[in-house]
Amino acid sequence: MNKDVMLERLVKNGLDFLEKAISELTEQPKYSVIHFHAAVELFLKARLMAEHWTLVISHRQEPDWNKFVSGNFQSVSLDGASDRLTKIVRSGLTKELSVFREITKHRNKMVHFFHEAHSEEENEEQLRDIVKQQLTAWYFLHKLITERWREVFEPWKTGVANIDKELRKSHSFLQVIYDQISSDIKNKKLSGLIFKSCPSCGFDSQEHEDELKEIYNANCLVCGLSEKCIKIECPDCSTEVVFENEGFGQCDNCGKRFEPEDLASEIDDGAAHVAAMDGDDSWDMGNCSDCDGYHTVVRTENDKYVCASCFLVLESLQRCGWCNEPNTGDMEHSHWAGCNHCDGNADWDKDD
């Protein structure tokens, strides 16, 4: 049995758990939560598996291929998977991690504290809470699978699309909430506020700001999805492009695809070059210690520093004592230890 066969089994198992979670949502919500949580972990492990099979095994155990293929091993936890995605795969979780942790908390609550003896009203409220969590978690997982990790999961795009279609049917449970606040949304629109369709629940209930090239929080008034967003004009067709939580995106009008480096260039818009001509290095593009982004940190017109990869916002940067690159991390000992993109003086001393 080779790695590709194991990867296929892992992904199909994740899809099976998602299908089970959807089928149990109304009649057995407790089991829906448990199976949905299992599916999330399986997809994260599948991404690790695509990199190398040893990454799926817990750090507490020594990798053993024979034990691995027989299933006789302890797999990595959610936080462990996140850590390896960041440090080894270099495609780590950002906003997704906190959302997936909420699913874990809910799953643990269902396993240890769930009680069937609720009133009909309480059961309905609980069901809406479960739907909110699953739609939000699926939104982030679906975005990972179909965008950032698309090359890995492309063979299963039909199955993923079918799951997406079925899960979004459950948004009808949130109709009650939307009906209650729809008049408030209408009044806010009349006052000039901007609302867009929420990518999680599908209702026209996600509040956006009007400014370009500035980080802001877009909050859905129905399902509670909160995203860090930034908007730019597409350089090819001038259509507004909204980026959610990270600097990967695509123009809906012309199809132009963006990566964090592209977004950083659009935010900067030549300001760093102009400043450099005037001898001002405070506009130099910096590196992000949180997501390991290289030249993804840009100074904005309101004198904030924004990472175009993970949307970290800071008041200032520090320069590495060895390579002199601006960075988001603590550079106190960087002359010796270096930064994310250099080894510092320690590496030179080692060679000596």
pLDDT digits (tens, 9 = 90+) for 283-309: 888 999 888 889 999 998 888 899 999
Strands lying side by side in the sheet with 226-233: 194-196, 206-208, 216-220, 226-233, 240-244
The pair of three-digit structure tokens given for residue 190, joined into one six-digit string: 């009349």
Residue 340 lies in a domain: yes
Residue 120 lies in a domain: yes
| Mean per-residue pLDDT, 241-269 | 92
**How many independent structural domains does the chain possess?**
3
- pTM of the predicted protein model: 0.64
Position 29 scores a pLDDT of 83
CA nearest to 79, candidates 66, 93, 67: 93
For 76-113, write each residue's pLDDT tens digit.
999 999 999 999 999 999 889 998 999 998 888 877 65
Residue 26 lies in a domain: yes
Q: Give the three-state DSSP class for 291.
A: coil
- Judgement on whether residues 198 and 213 belong to the same structural domain of the protein: yes
CA nearest to 255, candidates 241, 274, 276: 241
- Judgement on whether residues 194 and 323 belong to the same structural domain of the protein: no
Residue 124 lies in a domain: yes
216: β partners: 229
- Judgement on whether residues 210 and 293 belong to the same structural domain of the protein: no
- Judgement on whether residues 286 and 257 belong to the same structural domain of the protein: no
Position 117 scores a pLDDT of 46
For 200-239, write each residue's pLDDT tens digit.
888 999 999 988 888 999 999 988 889 999 999 999 999 9
Write down which residue in 214, 234, 262 finishes a domain: 262
DSSP run (H or E) holding 206:
strand 206-208
- Judgement on whether residues 207 and 62 belong to the same structural domain of the protein: no
- Give the domain extent around 183: 176-262
- Judgement on whether residues 296 and 181 belong to the same structural domain of the protein: no
- Judgement on whether residues 256 and 185 belong to the same structural domain of the protein: yes
Residue 271 lies in a domain: no
- Judgement on whether residues 22 and 162 belong to the same structural domain of the protein: yes
Q: How many CB atoms lie within 10 A of CB 233?
A: 14
- Judgement on whether residues 81 and 156 belong to the same structural domain of the protein: yes
- Judgement on whether residues 54 and 164 belong to the same structural domain of the protein: yes
How far is it, in rounded angstroms, from Cα 330 to Cα 27? 51
- Judgement on whether residues 145 and 74 belong to the same structural domain of the protein: yes
Write down which residue in 149, 175, 201 finishes a domain: 175
- Judgement on whether residues 184 and 158 belong to the same structural domain of the protein: no
Residue 219 lies in a domain: yes
Exposure pattern of 274-290 as b/e (b: 16+ CB <10 Å)? ebeeeeeeebbbbbbbb
